[in-house]
Amino acid sequence: MPAVTVLGLEGSANKVGAGLVRDGRVLSNPRRTFVPAPGQGFLPGQTARHHRGCVLAVLREALQEAGLEPADVDCVAYTKGPGMGAPLVTVAVVARTLAQLWNKPLLGVNHCVGHIEMGRLITGAQNPTVLYVSGGNTQVIAYSERRYRIFGETIDIAVGNCLDRFARVLKEVAHKMLASGECTPEDLCFSLQETLFAMLVEITERAMAHCGSQEALVVGGVGCNMRLQEMMRIMCAERGAKLFATDERFCIDNGAMIAQAGWEMFRTGQVTQLEDSWITQRYRTDEVEVTWRD
Ligand code: MG
């Protein structure tokens, strides 16, 4: 079979990335991050403006670094969702335009599935129970019968956003415990993080026990957190399982993860017609038919 090269474009939150993947090799994966003023979160409009301003430069960089021309690309994959509306639309418009300009098939990719497939590629985990933790998503996932099934999730607030927002709120209120000197802001941050991570590790362990799984994979931006990885590693060791984790190049949102999931989809015959190439802010992990796994 000839080599299949997929361009992946990601922009569902504050990162905009373009990655090129060819048959399991990451050829390039540049990205830019929108950084708002200290103490502020990133808002959809501002973030989309940032992405519009640099998406073409990131794309050019990805092609140059990989030493490829548009003609070498077999498929243009983009993040269909979940994520923030305006940034998602920005990247989808670029993907649609490239697909038409270059006359290539287009593929809308689920962002969470991108994280899972990138994690599997980089770590070599075969059939892991996945803890996906980021600013926008918190899910415990395991594969069964052509779906990535969600065993646990937060719907109100994701763990990364919770930690960030707590730090901002701490600056605004002077809580009784802080005012009396009973504890410091650092104490509260530490306690919150320990409690949240302990909950995540416990739910992951329950899912592993349920599935009889001997592998755990942690993905998403919060998955870079060394304390979380340590707690996960202890849990895995205690049950004779193995922990797989990646570093910030692949944990944090990037274009190559969309390219990798796109590559799996494309080689099993999936494409997205132009008229179906919309975005959706809510796109559940278990909506995707996993045609590339048994
Ligand atoms: Mg993410």
The answer to whether residue 57 sits within a structural domain is: yes
Instruction: State in Å: Cα 149 to ligand 1 middle.
Output: 17
Q: What is the percent of the chain with per-residue pLDDT over 70, rounded to a whole number?
A: 100
Exposed e or buried b per residue across 6-35, where buried means at least 16 C-beta atoms within 10 angstroms of its C-beta = bbbbbbbbbbbbbbbbbeeebbbbbbbebe
Task: Supply 174's token pair.
Answer: 């002077």
pLDDT for res 169: 86
Instruction: State in Å: Cα 81 to ligand 1 middle.
Output: 10
Q: Is the pLDDT of residue 1 over 80?
A: no
The answer to whether residue 119 sits within a structural domain is: no
pLDDT for res 40: 82
Please answer whether residues 216 and 245 qualify as being in contact, where contact means their C-beta atoms are separated by less than 8 angstroms. Answer: no
The answer to whether residue 121 sits within a structural domain is: no
Whether 177 and 255 share a structural domain: no
Instruction: State in Å: Cα 137 to ligand 1 middle.
Output: 7
Instruction: State in Å: Cα 175 to ligand 1 middle.
Output: 32
pLDDT for res 3: 95
pLDDT for res 171: 79
Cis, peptide link before residue 82, omega less than 30° from 0: yes
Output the CA–CA distances (angstroms, integers) from residue 136 to 81, 146, 157, 207, in the order listed. Answer: 11, 24, 7, 21
pLDDT digits (tens, 9 = 90+) for 256-286: 999 999 999 999 999 999 999 999 999 999 9
pLDDT for res 168: 85
Whether 134 and 63 share a structural domain: no
Among residues 108, 107, 115, 109, which one has the least CA distance to residue 135?
115
Angstrom distance (rounded) from CA 33 to CA 50: 9
Whether 173 and 200 share a structural domain: yes
The answer to whether residue 89 sits within a structural domain is: yes
| Better pLDDT: 179 or 85 | 85
Q: Is the pLDDT of residue 175 over 80?
A: no
What average pLDDT score do residues 129-139 get? Answer: 96
Whether 199 and 281 share a structural domain: no
Whether 156 and 89 share a structural domain: no
pLDDT for res 281: 95
Instruction: State in Å: Cα 182 to ligand 1 middle.
Output: 36
Whether 148 and 92 share a structural domain: no
Please answer whether residues 132 and 151 qualify as being in contact, where contact means their C-beta atoms are separated by less than 8 angstroms. Answer: no
pLDDT for res 221: 93
Whether 130 and 242 share a structural domain: yes
Angstrom distance (rounded) from CA 114 to CA 10: 10
pLDDT for res 226: 95
The answer to whether residue 120 sits within a structural domain is: no
Among residues 56, 61, 81, 80, which one has the least CA distance to residue 20?
61
pLDDT digits (tens, 9 = 90+) for 81-93: 999 999 999 999 9
Give the chain's length.
294
pLDDT for res 130: 98
Whether 242 and 262 share a structural domain: no
Whether 138 and 243 share a structural domain: yes
Whether 147 and 76 share a structural domain: no
What's the CATH number where 142 sits? 3.30.420.40
pLDDT for res 178: 85
Instruction: State in Å: Cα 220 to ligand 1 middle.
Output: 5
pLDDT digits (tens, 9 = 90+) for 224-239: 999 999 999 999 999 9
Instruction: State in Å: Cα 150 to ligand 1 middle.
Output: 16
pTM of the model: 0.95
The answer to whether residue 162 sits within a structural domain is: yes
Instruction: State in Å: Cα 181 to ligand 1 middle.
Output: 37
The answer to whether residue 292 sits within a structural domain is: no
Please answer whether residues 202 and 208 qualify as being in contact, where contact means their C-beta atoms are separated by less than 8 angstroms. Answer: no
Instruction: State in Å: Cα 78 to ligand 1 middle.
Output: 13
pLDDT digits (tens, 9 = 90+) for 36-72: 988 788 999 999 999 999 999 999 999 999 999 999 9
Whether 136 and 61 share a structural domain: no
Domain with 29, as residue range(s), is 5-114+251-287
Whether 61 and 136 share a structural domain: no
The answer to whether residue 18 sits within a structural domain is: yes
What is the number of domains present in the chain? 2
Angstrom distance (rounded) from CA 62 to CA 85: 24
Q: Is the pLDDT of residue 4 over 80?
A: yes
Q: Is the pLDDT of residue 177 over 90?
A: no
Beta strand 242-245 with 215-219: parallel, antiparallel or unpaired? parallel
